[in-house]
Amino acid sequence: MGKSVAEALARVDAGSLADIFEDRPGRVQQPVMQCVQIKPIAAQPGGQERHRVIFSDTKNYIQTMLAVHQNHLVEEKILRRGVLVQLVGYSANKVKAKRILIVTEIKVLEEYGEHEKLGEPKQLELKAEEDEKPSPTTITSNGFYGNKQEQPKPNRSVSSHAKPTSSASAHANIYPIEAISPYSNKWTIKARCTSKSEIKTWHNRNGEGRLFSVNLLDESGEIRATGFNDQCDQLYDVFQEGNVYYISSPCRVTFAKKQFSNLANDYELHFEKDTVVEKAEEQDGVPQVRYNFVSISELQTIDKDTTIDIIGVLKEVGEVGQATSKTTGKPYEKRELTLVDDTGYSVRMTIWGKTAASFDIPPESVVAFKGVKVSDFGGRSLSLLSSGSISANPDMPEAHKLKGWYDSQGRSGNFATHANVQGGVGEGGSRKDPFKTISQVKEEQLGMSENPDFFSVKASIQYIKQDNFCYPACLSEGCNKKVVEIDPGQWRCERCDKNHPKPEYRYIMSVNISDHTGQLWVSCFDETGRMIIGKTADELMEMKEVDEKQVAEIFSDANCQTWNWRCKARLDTFQEQQRVRYQVNSATPLNFVTESHKLIELIKQYNID
């Protein structure tokens, strides 16, 4: 039973919104407010859905953008209209004449229940002189950036793009990468350059140009930044992999092109002529790299063409060989490595080009790879992407654990391979996953352990999200990566370095399924999508161009159909927030004869004559 309206009113920090934006001394640092509205915002293709939430302090209300790693609070109905929340991490911004909060962490106060709108809040309006204040307020729960954002004034000359070095005193308070969005105003980030591409050129009917990209990392997340033409010339030599930099706006924030980046960020940066880049004097205090490791035994559960991070002991190092590019006909180097880990499995890794030629890490070293593509060649094998990285004997718990295991027992061990795994996940194989009800899946906390859990469930489709149900994929055999339309009738695959006259659309759907005990949101890919929709994604996209109503009817027809779902539950961690994600490996229609036999056997267990 929730608390009374009077108790809820007393708990809300009335007037705290004005305090935040006016940065009043003595204000409540983590105020309590009421959620009065939640509205989803459609994601870009391949991106994550975001939510616009309106919070009220009973005197004023304001629109906020919820950080994507907090989406689960909405999806799991924890954050609901009428509940009280405590703002733990947030950043105050001005967008033209409006104020907006970027909320990076909240705590829902469930004990207060849900209430109708408390008080008579009005839209927050600040004093006119506040428009001249350039400094937004930033609060975080873990203290890695400060309370008040103080921005350096960018030098407008061309030479101001890159200053030699800058001290922390010049940037006392830093904006977190996670909070950057098109709503952000003036900001400075302190980030490590974890990857820098070579300069690339393009030629099309609109002209030609140059570009390069860097991946930037801080404690809150990662973001990709790209410099074009003049910015490419001025900034390319400034960035060095491994160094820490201060980067200050103006810098364009745009939706991320997922076909060019594997980072978990919906946005990316484009350097502008007045963007300021300064090497930090203090190179410590910023993470070196961010990994999301997959064990070698898990590879059989990972979809082909997925990009992963992996760590293992280097068992064998092959000689440098030669291969010929299918697109250019030019030769390039390749080298094959064998990795093992404490799950008792081994896998072959291929590295390419200059990385293969210069590879000098000795066998029996612990090696971490970031940005690795999963292939189904020989069951499961791996290939290091051109944007990937290698770290030998990294100073991290995973590496120390592997080193201890290998020295004590791994050196003389025998290792299994994935050579007997054929096709994609859910095809063939003899593994029988236990049938569960949805409530059992949650009560038994499947997916909460170190390794993924597999289960089957009989459930009906309640709803399929229709805004981003597919993506344009490369036509090259075995690629399936997303392509981007660069000109009419020209679709570009960065992975294959090819242009195609059209894409092949492939399903990537978010589906809500339920049984008599509960509901789950699950992710479905192309094979499953074809099963439950009854058409290819290509066919559906063609229909959408002609008659969107007919497409909506097809999705509606899929609702309430019951399937046997084989699923994988796996714990996903981002910015110290953990949640279980459910992925469908396969879906099969009900066999009523088989289902009848199951019911007969179940009845027999009750000894009913």
The pLDDT of residue 573 is 64
Residue 94 lies in a domain: yes
Last residue of a domain, one of 79, 97, 123: 123
Any idea what the CATH number is for the domain that residue 302 is in? 2.40.50.140
**Are 18 and 70 within one domain?**
yes
**Are 567 and 462 within one domain?**
yes
Q: Cα–Cα distance between 260 and 200 in angstroms, integer?
A: 13
**Are 220 and 305 within one domain?**
no
Residue 366 binned pLDDT confidence (cut-offs 50, 70, 90): very high
**Are 383 and 240 within one domain?**
no
The pLDDT of residue 93 is 67
pLDDT in tens, 227-281: 999 999 999 999 998 899 999 988 998 887 765 666 777 789 999 999 999 998 8
Residue 12 lies in a domain: yes
Q: Cα–Cα distance between 217 and 474 in angstroms, integer?
A: 29
**Are 224 and 310 within one domain?**
no
Residue 187 lies in a domain: yes
Residue 139 predicted with pLDDT over 70: no
3-state class of 593 per DSSP?
A: helix
**Are 204 and 240 within one domain?**
yes
Q: Cα–Cα distance between 447 and 445 in angstroms, integer?
A: 6
DSSP 241: T
3-state class of 267 per DSSP?
A: strand
Residue 32 lies in a domain: yes
Looking at the chain, the whole-number percentage of residues with pLDDT higher than 70 is: 83
What are phi and psi for residue 555, nearest 5 degrees? -65, -40
Residue 431 lies in a domain: no
168 versus 37: which is more confidently predicted?
A: 37
Residue 193 lies in a domain: yes
User: Do 529 and 509 meet the contact criterion of CB atoms below 8 Å apart?
Assistant: yes
Residue 162 predicted with pLDDT over 50: yes
CA distances from 2 to 57, 85, 112, 252, 286 (A): 19, 14, 5, 45, 42
* Residue-by-residue DSSP string for 42-65: PPPTTS--EEEEEEE-SSEEEEEE
Residue 31 lies in domain: 5-123
* Three-state secondary structure string covering 79-126: CCCCCEEEEEEEEEEEECCEEEEEEEEEEEEHHHCCCCCCCCCEECCC
Q: Cα–Cα distance between 12 and 89 in angstroms, integer?
A: 17
**Are 186 and 64 within one domain?**
no
pLDDT in tens, 408-433: 988 888 888 876 443 333 333 344 56
Residue 163 lies in a domain: no
Which amino acid appears at position 229 of this protein?
Answer: N
Q: Cα–Cα distance between 432 and 435 in angstroms, integer?
A: 9
**Are 452 and 575 within one domain?**
yes
Last residue of a domain, one of 252, 279, 306: 279
Q: Cα–Cα distance between 299 and 591 in angstroms, integer?
A: 30
**Are 449 and 546 within one domain?**
yes
Which amino acid appears at position 607 of this protein?
Answer: N
Closest by Cα among 147, 125, 145 to 137: 147
pLDDT in tens, 11-69: 999 988 888 887 777 778 889 999 998 887 755 544 567 788 889 999 988 888 887 77
CB neighbour list of residue 241: distance below 8 Å, 6 or more residues apart: 193, 194, 195, 196
**Are 363 and 443 within one domain?**
no
pLDDT in tens, 60-110: 888 888 877 788 888 888 999 999 999 988 877 665 456 777 888 889 998
pLDDT in tens, 174-186: 788 877 877 777 7
Residue 507 binned pLDDT confidence (cut-offs 50, 70, 90): very high
Residue 145 predicted with pLDDT over 50: no
Last residue of a domain, one of 245, 279, 313: 279
Structurally, how many domains does the chain consist of? Answer: 4
**15: number of Cβ within 10 Å:** 16
The pLDDT of residue 136 is 45
CB neighbour list of residue 129: distance below 8 Å, 6 or more residues apart: none
User: Do 326 and 358 meet the contact criterion of CB atoms below 8 Å apart?
Assistant: no
Residue 388 predicted with pLDDT over 90: no
454 versus 137: which is more confidently predicted?
A: 454
What is the rounded average pLDDT for all residues in the chain?
A: 81
CB neighbour list of residue 503: distance below 8 Å, 6 or more residues apart: 472, 473, 474, 475, 483, 491
Closest by Cα among 482, 353, 343 to 405: 343
Residue 163 predicted with pLDDT over 60: no
**Are 589 and 453 within one domain?**
yes
Full-prediction pTM beyond 0.85? no
CB neighbour list of residue 600: distance below 8 Å, 6 or more residues apart: none
**503: number of Cβ within 10 Å:** 21
Residue 574 binned pLDDT confidence (cut-offs 50, 70, 90): low
**Are 260 and 341 within one domain?**
no
Closest by Cα among 243, 238, 331 to 282: 243
The pLDDT of residue 271 is 94
The pLDDT of residue 262 is 65
Residue 446 lies in a domain: yes
